[in-house]
């Protein structure tokens, strides 16, 4: 059977993994796809790297053209599928749109590009009748896009909560387990190839927000709305809170959360307390996990490697197989890019963070004297916030201040913010109140 020809743009971590796995499992993959999948051309700025990555133990084994001109690949009439593994939204966007305009199918792992320009890219692909596949863009090797678009298509999805950034999960796990410093763990995550080129995207929650934006669009049939996501990373997280959370039976994870509510869709990323007894709370290191709640199926949990060369290549190649199988199908009969038919996307609003409903962990530094707790609980009661638990730590020797920790039941973010402002104004409260969100995920 005639092979399908692939042009690979970018042979770094994921591109290198894709080349290697495709070579190693070529026969098995061809049996699945129905015809061989052959990378005929590789473009990378670094030709030495491209040469090295495409050799097998120092030997050239395949006929692969190497070039530093990615634009020549998207214009190559011999190329059927373009894999974009350069990253970012500059040249990558131009290349993807040119590939589509030239009638090529596209496979990409670029969540930043899709979360910010996905609507334009999918529209261009639909007009041209080509596929844009992006399994590797969320949670690396975990087939979560496939699960949402196909496996769960009977369900009305209610919410998704995911550990979808390996770098931050690795940092939180190592800091908690080994007492290592934030900087040391970040360096290790970069060395292992988990972190983005700009690691602030990982640490500040931007990468997770790109991914939850994509999952939200697939779950609820809405356009990509990354600009409306609420984003808070882990850089301001205090080790004290990791410790107190643990004592209270919770773990802190950076979660991407999207929820359907009567008023609209919640779309948010922030450090979150979750009960330690939940499976997802025990996802450690660079591993990812996504919990999906559907009305028919209930909870389903997807776990695996969310980054790294071969785990991500696994998703890229699954897309290559899908595209190869559907290559000759009528575009109307392919799985829609965003799971719902393009003319059936809904305009459910994304809720501003003030309108989000969740529970809270509050840590306050207070004077250890009678009436303090009563003053604070009165403020919470005035805002109709119900308290779930209160813990007061013993003050240190010769200290007249102590830590007070409160867990609340669910309330609106604007209510907790109003209460915090009043609490901080009390003369018996020192400094700022630490506020973290808490999800039971039951």
Which of 122, 134, 194, 361 lies at the binding interface for ligand HSE (CB under 6 A)?
Answer: 194
Contact between 76 and ligand HSE per CB under 6 A: no
Q: 172, exposed or middle or buried, with CB in 10 Å at 0-12, 13-18, 19+?
A: buried
Decide whether 167 or 434 has the Cβ nearer to ligand HSE: 167
**Gap between the Cα atoms of 216 and 222, Å rounded:** 7
Task: Give the one entry of ligand NDP, ligand HSE, none that residue 195 binds, where binding means its C-beta sits below a cut-off of 5 to 8 angstroms depending on kind.
Answer: ligand HSE
Number of residues that bind ligand HSE (CB under 6 A): 11
Binding site for ligand NDP (CB under 6 A): 9-15, 43-46, 49, 70, 85-87, 91, 109-110, 136, 140, 193-194, 196-197, 307-308, 312
Q: For residue 78, what are the β-bridge partners? A: none
Would you count residue 304 as binding ligand HSE (CB under 6 A)?
A: no
Instruction: Note whether 205 binds ligand HSE by CB under 6 A.
Output: no
Tell me which residues in 248-277 interact with ligand HSE (CB under 6 A).
Answer: none
Do the Cβ atoms of 121 and 128 come closer than 8 Å?
Answer: no
Which one among 196, 266, 383, 413 touches ligand HSE, defined by CB under 6 A? 196
Query: Is the C-alpha dihedral spanning 95, 100, 104, 106 positive or negative?
Result: positive
Report the alpha-carbon distance of residue 47 to residue 70 in Å, rounded.
12
- Contact partner, 202, from ligand HSE, ligand NDP, none, Cβ < 5-8 Å per class: ligand HSE
Report whether 279 contacts 251 (CB < 8 A): no
Comparing CB distances to ligand HSE, the nearer of 205 and 221 is: 205
x/- letters, 140..169, toward ligand HSE (CB under 6 A): x------------------------xxx--
206 binds ligand HSE (CB under 6 A): no
Question: Helix, strand or coil for residue 406?
Answer: strand
User: Is the CB of 133 or the CB of 351 nearer to ligand HSE?
Assistant: 133
Whether residue 211 lies in the annotated active site: yes
Task: Please say which residue, 137 or 419, places its beta carbon nearer to ligand NDP.
Answer: 137
- How many degrees, rounded to 5, is the angle at CA 438 between CA 184 and CA 381? 135
**46-55, Cβ contacts within 8 angstroms, sequence gap of 24 or more:** 49/11, 49/12, 50/11, 53/11, 53/15, 53/16, 53/19, 54/11, 54/19
Which of 93, 111, 146, 211 is flagged as catalytic? 211
User: Shortest distance, CB of residue 189 to ligand HSE, whole angstroms?
Assistant: 7
Which of 109, 129, 165, 295 lies closest to 220 in space, CA to CA?
295
Q: How far is CA 143 from CA 13, 140, 190, 317, in A?
A: 19, 8, 24, 12
Contact 138, 164 (CB under 8 A): yes
Q: Which of the stretches 193-201, 225-233, 320-328, 428-436 binds ligand HSE when contact is defined by CB under 6 A?
A: 193-201
How far apart are CB 415 and ligand HSE at their closest, in Å?
A: 33
The residue written with tokens 């334009």 in the block is: 120
- Which of 116, 359 has the CB closer to ligand NDP? 116
Least distance from C-beta 323 to ligand HSE, angstroms?
21
- What's the closest the beta carbon of residue 39 comes to ligand NDP, in angstroms? 14
The partner in contact with residue 412, picked from ligand HSE, ligand NDP, none with C-beta cut-offs of 5 to 8 angstroms by kind, is none
- Strands, DSSP E only, in 229-321? 230-231, 250-260, 265-275, 287-294, 298-305
Cα–chain-centroid distance for residue 212?
Answer: 5
Distance in angstroms (rounded) separating the CA atoms of residues 186 and 29: 35
- Binding residues vs ligand HSE (CB under 6 A): 140, 165-167, 194-196, 202, 207, 306-307
Q: Which residues are catalytic?
A: 211
């Amino acid at each position: 059977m005639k092979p399908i020809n692939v042009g690979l743009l970018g042979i770094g971590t994921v591109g290198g993994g894709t080349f290697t796995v495709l070579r190693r499992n070529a026969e098995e993959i061809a049996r699945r796809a129905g015809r061989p999948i052959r990378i005929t051309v590789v473009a990378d700025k670094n030709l030495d790297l491209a040469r090295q990555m495409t050799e097998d133990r120092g030997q050239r084994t395949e006929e692969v053209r190497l070039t530093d001109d990615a634009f020549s690949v998207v214009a190559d009439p011999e190329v059927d599928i373009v894999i974009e593994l350069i990253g970012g939204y500059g040249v990558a966007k131009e290349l993807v749109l040119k590939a589509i305009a030239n009638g090529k199918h596209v496979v990409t792992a670029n969540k930043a590009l899709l979360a910010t320009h996905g609507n334009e890219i999918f529209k261009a692909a639909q007009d041209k009748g080509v596929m844009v596949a992006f399994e590797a863009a969320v949670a690396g090797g975990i087939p979560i896009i496939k699960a949402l678009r196909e496996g769960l298509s009977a369900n009305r999805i209610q919410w998704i909560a995911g550990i979808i950034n390996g770098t931050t999960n690795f940092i939180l796990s190592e800091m908690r387990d080994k007492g290592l410093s934030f900087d040391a763990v970040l360096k290790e995550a970069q060395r292992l190839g988990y972190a983005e080129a700009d690691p602030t995207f990982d640490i500040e929650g931007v990468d997770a927000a790109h991914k939850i934006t994509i999952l939200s669009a697939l779950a609820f049939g809405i356009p990509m709305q990354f600009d409306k996501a609420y984003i808070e990373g882990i850089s301001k997280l205090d080790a004290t809170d990791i410790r107190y959370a643990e004592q209270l039976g919770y773990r802190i994870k950076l979660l991407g959360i999207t929820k359907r509510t009567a008023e609209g869709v919640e779309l948010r990323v922030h450090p979150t307390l979750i009960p330690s007894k939940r499976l997802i709370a025990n996802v450690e290191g660079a591993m990812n996990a996504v919990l999906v709640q559907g009305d028919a199926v209930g909870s389903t949990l997807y776990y695996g490697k969310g980054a790294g060369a071969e785990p991500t290549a696994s998703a890229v190649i699954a897309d290559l197989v899908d595209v190869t199988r559907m290559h000759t199908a009528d575009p109307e009969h392919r799985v829609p890019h965003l799971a719902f038919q393009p003319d059936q996307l809904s305009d459910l609003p994304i809720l501003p963070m003030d309108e989000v409903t969740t529970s809270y962990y509050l840590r306050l530094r207070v004077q250890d004297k009678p009436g303090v707790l009563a003053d604070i609980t009165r403020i919470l009661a005035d805002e109709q916030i119900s308290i779930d638990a209160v813990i007061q730590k013993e003050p240190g020797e010769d200290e007249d201040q102590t830590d007070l920790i409160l867990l609340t039941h669910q309330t609106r973010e604007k209510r907790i913010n109003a209460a915090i402002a009043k609490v901080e104004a009390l003369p018996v409260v020192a400094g700022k109140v630490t506020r973290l969100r808490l999800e039971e995920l039951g």
